[in-house]
Structure 1
Amino acid sequence: MSGKTVNSAILLLVIGNALALISDVFIKFLQADAPVFQYAFLRCVITLALLLPFWRQLDTGNLFAGGRLHFIRGHVHLVGIVCMVYALIALPLATANAVFYAAPIMVMLLSVMFFGERLTKLSLAAVISGFAGILVILRPVDFSWAALAALGSAAALAINAVLVRKLPRQQSTMHKLFLNYLMITPMCLGLMLWEAAPWSQAVLISAAGSSLFILGYNVCVLLAYKHVDANQVTSAEYTGLIWAVIIGWVFFAEVPDIWFLAGSAMIVVPLLLIGLQQHRKRPRPNHHELADTRFHAAPDEAEQSGAQKTS
């Protein structure tokens, strides 16, 4: 699979999103009382180790260019990681992932607030329908801290997707990812020491597995968007929700109900329609920023379209 044709690029994205869901599964297998900050620290260290082979893509002469913004984005991302872990442990896999799809909707709102962008009628409909879909999925009677954590993770991803516009343009994806994790490692270490939880082999396995499979997702994304315009294949990323239903059903006996199906449709369908509308209007760049946590939204794509699915 070279990703040089539309069909092969779509297949890569389908496989990539399956790998991302496996990353979520490693988190979901954690116990409810698992030390979250220990997980975050290990996730940082392991991810940095996995990125080391790509050190040549770092601009060592200007390693800390945009350092203040990298620091802010990194710590927002840390909040997102903690929220993601709580959400995945407590919520059904498909439910948590459906709520994560609120991120591109939040990107649209943040772009209006901070960059003065105007929403089209379809984008406004997507915002209203998306948030209504979240309420349908979670339902006020079932609302919990886990639901708020899922929304918090989506908000963190959306904020980072918007802030990436301010980062130095010449920095490579690997450079941005490396600084992101490097900047939050001291905080993660401090939080882990404050947590003072006993060392857990299960947390180590979870952090290693989730980091490795997210890297696999990133590789698939890079290959898929390297030769093919994003607007031709980006809708394939929404297969992540299908994988979430399948994996949740097979491994955790989580059967989606009619509320989940209706709410998911209210979130995803308008986003797909926006993608189709943009495809008809103009071609989009074929560059795709790496998503760090399965945020179904890569920053540069979010910048271009304001609607795309990264936890």
Structure 2
Amino acid sequence: MSGKTVNSAILLLVIGNALALISDAIIKLQGADVPVFQFVFIRTLCTLVLLLPLSAMIDRGNLFAGGRVHLLRAHISLAGISCMVVALNTLPLATANALFYAAPILVMVIAVLVFRENLTPLSLLAVVSGFAGIILILRPVALNWASLSAIGVAFSLAINIVLIRKLPGRQSMVHTLVLTHLYMLPAAFLLTLWEGKAFEWSVVIHAFGSAFFILCYNVTVLMAYRWVAANQVTSAEYTGLLWAIIGGWVFFGEVPDMWFIIGSTMIVAPLILIGLAERKRKRVLRQEPASVAVAE
């Protein structure tokens, strides 16, 4: 794999994370009084509309394959997006995003509990350091519904990542996104009725903007990981936290404190080290057959 291709994939991920940050900022601009479930329902509809031009990527012959897993992931996503709206509208942008990055750490824990996988020493360090980082960011005085919502987002992301293993192997990302959002609609609509808030056109504008930019993020991620192996560029995903710090400072006047800087470093740094170690391991495995051939 050429260095140029790897660099292009890294650039795509950096741009993609900036687009995801725009989606977060659009949500945050609505303020704490936004009707949460109305926003989630309308964003779900907007996402389905935006996916229509990509419908050729859907396997119509096996449209509802893996339906039970999709149904479960859809409702976990519904809970996660609802928590995300609350977290982004009540926490500083960078703080919320730092807590979202706990998802890869939770994936490791869930994989141990559900799939009986073993943690490497570096993975164990990431888990311990990550949870300590979360405590530093939140601190007991900052533990409230907003911070719990951010942790809820991380849990929903982690569970859905683990459940990907249960999906049909050949389904495209578009197929998965369509089914997820289709299955989300009924529950999101019922929650909107239960919420009982008056319809707001401003919510439609914000929901469409958020859906558009997060879909653009998904496309950049898909393209990047098709070009190169995931372990070569995964660390670029964590530029999202840098974008969140810049965005929070520029648009909302939020300045991270020392607790945030230390805590977020404790969350992200071990994850980057894991990515670098995996890249080194793959490089060694690729070189071994050549070494054996020369010896023979």
Aligned partners of 2:232 and 2:275 also within 8 Å? no
Aligned partners of 1:6 and 1:228 also within 8 Å? yes
Distance in 1 (CA, whole Å) between partners of 2:66 and 2:160 is 14
Query: 3-state DSSP class of the match of 2:199?
Result: coil
Distance in 2 (CA, whole Å) between partners of 1:10 and 1:124 is 27
Q: Tell me the residue number matched to 1:35.
A: 35
* Cα offset, 1:141, TM superposition: 0.9
* Cα offset, 1:88, TM superposition: 0.3
Query: 3-state DSSP class of the match of 1:170?
Result: coil
* Cα offset, 1:281, TM superposition: 1.0
Aligned partners of 1:24 and 1:88 also within 8 Å? yes
Aligned partners of 1:107 and 1:162 also within 8 Å? yes
Aligned partners of 1:22 and 1:213 also within 8 Å? yes
* Cα offset, 1:203, TM superposition: 1.3
Q: Tell me the residue number matched to 1:76.
A: 76
* Cα offset, 1:4, TM superposition: 6.3
Where does 1:227-306 land on structure 2 (aligned, <5 Å)? 227-282=227-282
Aligned partners of 2:132 and 2:266 also within 8 Å? yes
- Determine what percentage of the aligned residue pairs are the same residue: 62
- State which structure, 1 or 2, has the greater radius of gyration over its C-alpha atoms: 2
Q: Tell me the residue number matched to 1:47.
A: 47
* Cα offset, 1:199, TM superposition: 1.0
Query: 3-state DSSP class of the match of 1:254?
Result: coil
Distance in 2 (CA, whole Å) between partners of 1:158 and 1:221 is 17
Distance in 2 (CA, whole Å) between partners of 1:142 and 1:202 is 31
Distance in 1 (CA, whole Å) between partners of 2:223 and 2:74 is 25
TM-score, normalization by structure 2: 0.93
Distance in 1 (CA, whole Å) between partners of 2:85 and 2:119 is 32
Aligned length: 282
Aligned partners of 1:39 and 1:204 also within 8 Å? yes
Distance in 2 (CA, whole Å) between partners of 1:89 and 1:182 is 26
Distance in 1 (CA, whole Å) between partners of 2:234 and 2:103 is 16
Distance in 1 (CA, whole Å) between partners of 2:229 and 2:32 is 42
Distance 1:199 1:164, change over 3 A: same
Distance in 2 (CA, whole Å) between partners of 1:57 and 1:71 is 20
Aligned partners of 2:74 and 2:184 also within 8 Å? yes
The one-letter code sitting in structure 2 at the alignment partner of 1:101 is Y
Aligned partners of 1:122 and 1:270 also within 8 Å? yes
Where does 1:64-213 land on structure 2 (aligned, <5 Å)? 64-213=64-213
The one-letter code sitting in structure 2 at the alignment partner of 1:277 is A
Distance 1:242 1:268, change over 3 A: same
The one-letter code sitting in structure 1 at the alignment partner of 2:180 is N
What root-mean-square deviation, in Å, do the aligned CA atoms of Structure 1 and Structure 2 show? 1.4
Q: Tell me the residue number matched to 1:295.
A: none
Aligned partners of 1:4 and 1:228 also within 8 Å? no
Distance in 2 (CA, whole Å) between partners of 1:40 and 1:277 is 38
Higher relative contact order (CA 8 A, sep 6+): 2
Deviations 1:160-193 (A, max 9, x none): 0001101111211111110000001011111111
Distance in 1 (CA, whole Å) between partners of 2:11 and 2:226 is 14
Deviations 1:28-68 (A, max 9, x none): 01121211010011011000011111111111111111111
The one-letter code sitting in structure 2 at the alignment partner of 1:235 is S
Please, which runs of 5 or more residues in structure 2 have no aligned partner?
284-296
Please, which runs of 5 or more residues in structure 1 have no aligned partner?
284-311
Distance in 2 (CA, whole Å) between partners of 1:106 and 1:244 is 21
Distance in 2 (CA, whole Å) between partners of 1:37 and 1:239 is 29
* Cα offset, 1:222, TM superposition: 2.0
The one-letter code sitting in structure 2 at the alignment partner of 1:158 is A
Aligned partners of 1:122 and 1:274 also within 8 Å? yes
Distance in 1 (CA, whole Å) between partners of 2:146 and 2:222 is 32
The one-letter code sitting in structure 2 at the alignment partner of 1:55 is S
Aligned partners of 1:231 and 1:278 also within 8 Å? yes
